[in-house]
Chains A and B, each alone.
Chain A
Amino acid sequence: QVQLQESGPGLVKPSETLSLTCTVSGGSMTSMTSSNYYWGWIRQPPGKGLDWIGNIYHSGTTYYNPSLKSRVTISVDTSKKQFSLKLSSVTAADTAVYYCARRTIVGAYTDAFDTWGQGTMVIVSS
């Protein structure tokens, strides 16, 4: 059973860069490099809905939400079984719970986030 765990600072100053890491545990050693999986980040502002930030494939190919693309970088280190999020020039609007998640693509129509981390709250404030 694969598990995901986010880690990183819970408080970031405005204009600085938010940095989070997601560690993948459990499952087989090849789970991160399976062709069926993408690894991604989703955020949820307090009291609001879910927003997709982006995904990365084990090869390093990235897919970003255009609304954040100029500020987002997602990277992967399969040897450490980790992937990371960097969001630059943050403002109060970036305050949210940040989730890492596995996106599984199998068969004709299966393309969903089937495994999630517990989430980590990041507050942007001076």
Chain B
Amino acid sequence: DIQMTQSPSSLSASVGDRVTITCRASQTIASFLNWYQQKPGKAPKLLIHGASSLQSGVTSRFSGSGSGTDFTLTISSLQPEDFATYYCQQSYSSPLTFGGGTKVEIK
């Protein structure tokens, strides 16, 4: 199985901050990397697919980059509605696997 490791597991940031979350795959996954946002009690929401493609309807504050084994999700200017947990997920090979999550909290 491909292991997905996110860092940090949590972070505190202020509104307006630039936030970067990292995801590392245990083996190369090309650009088969997705990012999701999950708020408490809600289903995950797709933000980024194919490592860098913004899902339709998602604000351009979110961006993704990377290929191979190292990927990043960047929030350019953190807004109150962005406080949530973020997950990466690889779709390169079965079984599909998710990272452990990064909780973004208010500083």
What is A's interface to B at a CB cutoff of 8 Å? 49-52, 63, 65-67, 99, 101, 107-114, 116-119
Contact = CB atoms under 8 A, between A and B. Distances in A.
Interface residues of B, number: 26
Contacts, number: 65
Q: Chain A CB within 10 Å — which of B30, B43, B51, B94 has the most?
A: B43
Nearest to A117: B43
A111 B55 contact: no
9 contacts: A49-B87, A50-B36, A111-B49, A111-B50, A114-B49, A114-B55, A117-B43, A118-B42, A119-B42
B71 interface: no
A52 B36 CA distance: 14
B49 A52 contact: no
A89 B99 CA distance: 27
Contacts of A49: 87, 98-101
B34 A112 contact: yes
A110 B64 CA distance: 14
Contacts of B87: 49-50
B96 interface: yes
B18 to A, nearest CB: 25
Contact of A109 (B43, B49, B94, B96): B49
A50 B95 contact: no
B101 A113 contact: no
B51 A109 contact: yes
B89 interface: yes
A50 B89 contact: yes
B36 to A, nearest CB: 8
